[in-house]
Structure formats: C-alpha cells, structure tokens
Amino acid sequence: MPQAFYDEMESPIGPLVLCASEQGLCRIDFGSYAEVKESLHKWCKSKLYADTVFPDKLVLREAVNQLEQYFAGSRMAFTLPLDMRGTSFQQRVWNALRQIPFGESRSYLQISQAIGSPKAVRAVGGANHNNPLPIVVPCHRVIGANGELVGYGGGLPTKRFLLELEGWRG
C-alpha cells in the first residue's frame, strides 16, 4: 500500500501543510492541518491510493527548509523531488510554470502558447487552479493579459505577497 506523509509549517502567509508520497513532494495546502485534514486525506486516497497519511517531519524536512529559504528571500528555485499527479495537459502546463523565472510573470495566453496550445487559455487556467504544489510550481506568476492579478487558490493578497517577495512590480 502506498504511503503518504505530511508536515505543517508556519510561513509569512499563514500555515502551510505539505504532503509527500514515497516519490516526492506532491501537495501544498494553505491553512492548518486541522483545516485541510479532510480534503488532504481524500486527495491522498484518490491520487496516491494511500489509506493513511502519516505525520512525518523527516521526509519533508528539505521541503520545509527550501520554503523557509524562499520566504527569507534566499531561494529563487526549488530543487525537490516532485510527484505531480495530473493529466498530460496539466503536466505540460505545470512544467511551463516551472520555467517562469523568479520575479517575472506570464499571462495565461503566454503559457498556452508556450505549451503549443494557443487556443487553450481557459484550460491553462483550469490546470493552474488544479496545481497541487502552489509556490513550488509557481502558478502565482501567472497574471491576466491586462497585467491584473486574477485568481489564486491562496487568495489574491497571498498572490500579491508572493509576487512582491520576488520583486514583481505590477
């Protein structure tokens, strides 16, 4: 039976819950473990086929360290093993997101063009919405075509905070 592990950390944007499979980091939730426990366990059961999610600081220690470095302004890219579960289209979008440099932004149209699907702007938005690893897979760097901040699972104030942390001046 596959196993899943979680840890909770404090951050400048509030508590975050990190989840890892045996292959790598697979999910980050905004909120405390008490707030996300039900959805986390349901997701782990459906995506990882894990019946139990174990608390484990050792497995997730490097992910916590890298996120702390990011929030301290000393890390611009993550070098973690990831276990991204999604459709092939979602995988293409998430890979494109990982190519957006620290401190820069792209529009949904630019992402759709980068993956060779220029008419799939809404689908790119859907893949962004379903990104299980916000911050590490930087969907916060995707903005509206007019330069405005639009949609973010952690809320627009969090999106603005992350962009400004990276030096964005939208």
What proportion of the chain, given as a percentage, has pLDDT over 90? 84
Going by pLDDT thresholds of 50, 70 and 90, the confidence category of residue 23 is very high
Q: Identify the CA nearest to 31 among candidates 158, 121, 120, 126.
A: 158
What proportion of the chain, given as a percentage, has pLDDT over 70? 99
Q: Which of 71, 101, 117 is the last residue of a domain?
A: 71
Residue 169: per-residue pLDDT: 77
**Lowest mean per-residue pLDDT among 13-17, 95-99, 125-129, 145-149:** 145-149
Identify the domain containing residue 146 by its residue range.
88-165
Whether 139 is catalytic: yes
* Residue 118 in domain: yes
Cα separation, 152 vs 146, whole angstroms: 16
Amino acid at the residue 125:
G
148-167 pLDDT, tens digit each: 898 888 899 999 999 999 99
Q: What is the mean pLDDT of residues 77-102?
A: 96
Structural domain count, the chain: 2
* Residue 58 in domain: yes
Paired residues of 9 in beta bridges: 16
Going by pLDDT thresholds of 50, 70 and 90, the confidence category of residue 54 is confident
